[in-house]
């Protein structure tokens, strides 16, 4: 069975249906055109026979007589597939020769303009058959007789129908041969057009799973170039994504290996000492190292959540959120930590600021920015969390700031500036990923007190999204 999803078979099926419809329409048109041509040809013969009979009319002793010559019916007797009937009526409508009860012209039948004769053509029924009849009027002008004699000649319609059917069959035969040739030509053309796709399919199937090189630029039709370019572009993006993941895994392994090795060395060193104070000091160092490892692991997990959240936003999972409300909730959650470090945490968010985003990612962004500011602000300093219209978030601190030359690199994973040597190098990288997922712009500026001011400009939610 043909594959219903095959482009070749679907095209051929649609074309075949169209050709069948065209053949039926052409066949009907050929039949009616053939019938019209047959009527024209046979009507001329009917009229010629009626004229021959009319030529044989004569008057004698006030009586009209008809001498019907054999030639008047000769054509029908030998060339027609049907039967021929005739009738001659005098000026008083009395039958003087021929068949009785031959149907007369229906009321309102007009005389023909196609021939110079007083003739009318019409259809009727005679002896249970459909007949075509011509009624010819012949003037009779004699001293004792003056009026119109009528000659009727009728023919059954078999010959006309046979001629029309012959024309229709010939038309259908020609169209059928043309249709079969067209389908064969389309089959060959489509097969030739799909051959480059077969080459691409073969090239893809023969590749190794880790081979993400661009597809070969085989000779394809112009309509297939956008598809080929899109596939190569997608393959390139996929390759870059895999490279980033591989680099991230390598960097994460390196970042985890060093503190784990240091932690293990401290523990082993403490175990060699018989003094309890050394054990206590070793445990404190191990606890601090474990905290740093826990923080690093949490940030690695946060980075993975950012990638999942970015995918959710791309698939339409964003929500309409009030950035001011998110900032107030985070400020209240971070207030105890700021107080413990002796830093004043201030919030400036007087009015609602609406945007479309993923709440978990936005909370992660706020948490990383505020935590980074608190970590680099000395005791007695200030951290300001500010939300302004139309959709701008700012976090400003009194810390040492970041040198201008390093501000572009701090968003790279595991990069630490000179002023952030104690961090994991993932905080601002996570913030940058979240900003990209929300199509937001992030920039670093000098604070009013010489510290760092981070500004994030979001896309404002459309008014209809708020209703």
- What's the pLDDT at 189? 78
Domains present along the chain, CATH in parentheses: 7-166 (3.30.450), 226-311 (1.10.287.130), 316-465 (3.30.565.10)
* Residues 456, 440 contacting (CB under 8 angstroms): yes
Q: What is the mean pLDDT of residues 257-262?
A: 70
Task: Tell me: pLDDT of 159 over 80.
Answer: no
- What's the pLDDT at 462? 63
Residue-wise pLDDT tens digits, 333-353: 989 989 999 999 999 988 888
Burial class (CB in 10 A: 0-12, 13-18, 19+), 315: exposed
- What's the pLDDT at 217? 64
Q: Is pLDDT larger for residue 6 or for residue 93?
A: 93
Task: Tell me: pLDDT of 208 over 80.
Answer: no
Q: Angle 49-51-52 (CA atoms, 0-180°, nearest 5)?
A: 65
When pLDDT is cut at 50, 70 and 90, the band that residue 467 belongs to is very low
Q: What percent of the chain has pLDDT over 90?
A: 9
Residue-wise pLDDT tens digits, 79-138: 455 688 889 998 888 888 888 889 989 998 888 888 888 899 999 999 888 999 999 998
- What's the pLDDT at 61? 72
Specify the range with the lowest mean pLDDT, choosing from 113-127, 301-315, 347-361.
301-315
* Residues 442, 376 contacting (CB under 8 angstroms): no
Burial class (CB in 10 A: 0-12, 13-18, 19+), 217: exposed
């Amino acid at each position: 069975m043909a594959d219903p999803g095959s482009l070749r078979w679907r095209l051929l099926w649609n074309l075949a249906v169209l050709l069948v419809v065209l053949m039926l329409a052409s066949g009907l048109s050929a039949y009616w055109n053939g019938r019209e041509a047959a009527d024209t040809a046979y009507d001329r013969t009917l009229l010629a026979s009626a004229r021959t009979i009319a030529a044989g009319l004569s008057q004698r002793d006030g009586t009209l007589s008809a001498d019907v010559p054999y030639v008047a019916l000769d054509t029908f007797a030998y060339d027609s597939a049907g039967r021929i009937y005739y009738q001659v009526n005098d000026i008083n409508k009395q039958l003087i020769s021929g068949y009785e009860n031959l149907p007369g012209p229906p009321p309102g039948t007009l005389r023909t303009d196609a021939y110079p004769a007083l003739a009318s053509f019409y259809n009727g029924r005679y002896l249970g058959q459909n007949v075509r009849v011509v009624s010819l009027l012949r003037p009779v002008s004699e001293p004792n007789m003056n009026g119109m004699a009528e000659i009727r000649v009728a023919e059954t319609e078999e010959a006309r129908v046979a001629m029309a059917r012959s024309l229709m069959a010939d038309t259908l035969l020609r169209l059928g041969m043309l249709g079969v040739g067209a389908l064969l030509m389309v089959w060959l053309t489509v097969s030739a057009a799909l051959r480059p796709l077969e080459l691409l399919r073969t090239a893809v199937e023969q590749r190794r799973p880790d081979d993400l090189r661009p597809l070969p630029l085989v000779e394809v039709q112009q309509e297939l170039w956008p598809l080929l370019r899109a596939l190569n572009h997608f393959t390139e993006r996929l390759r870059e994504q895999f490279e980033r993941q591989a680099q991230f895994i390598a960097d994460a392994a390196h970042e985890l290996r060093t503190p784990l090795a240091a932690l293990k060395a401290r523990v082993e060193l403490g175990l060699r000492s018989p003094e309890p104070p050394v054990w206590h000091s070793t445990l404190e160092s191990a606890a601090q190292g474990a905290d740093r490892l826990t923080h690093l692991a949490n940030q690695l997990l946060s980075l993975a959540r950012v990638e999942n959240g970015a995918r959710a936003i791309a698939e339409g999972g964003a929500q309409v959120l009030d950035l001011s409300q998110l900032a107030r909730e985070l400020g209240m959650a971070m207030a105890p930590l700021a107080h413990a470090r002796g830093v004043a945490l201030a919030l400036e968010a007087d009015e609602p600021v609406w945007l479309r985003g993923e709440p978990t990612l936005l909370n992660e962004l706020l948490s990383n920015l505020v935590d980074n500011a608190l970590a680099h602000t000395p005791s007695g300093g200030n951290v300001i969390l500010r939300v302004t219209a139309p959709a701008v978030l700012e976090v400003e601190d009194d810390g040492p700031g970041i040198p201008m030359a390093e501000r572009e690199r701090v968003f790279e994973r595991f990069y630490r500036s000179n002023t952030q040597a104690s961090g994991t190098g993932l905080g601002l990288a996570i913030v940058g990923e979240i900003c990209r997922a929300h199509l937001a712009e992030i920039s670093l500026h000098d604070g009013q007190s010489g510290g760092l001011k981070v500004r994030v400009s979001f896309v404002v939610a459309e008014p209809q999204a708020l209703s």
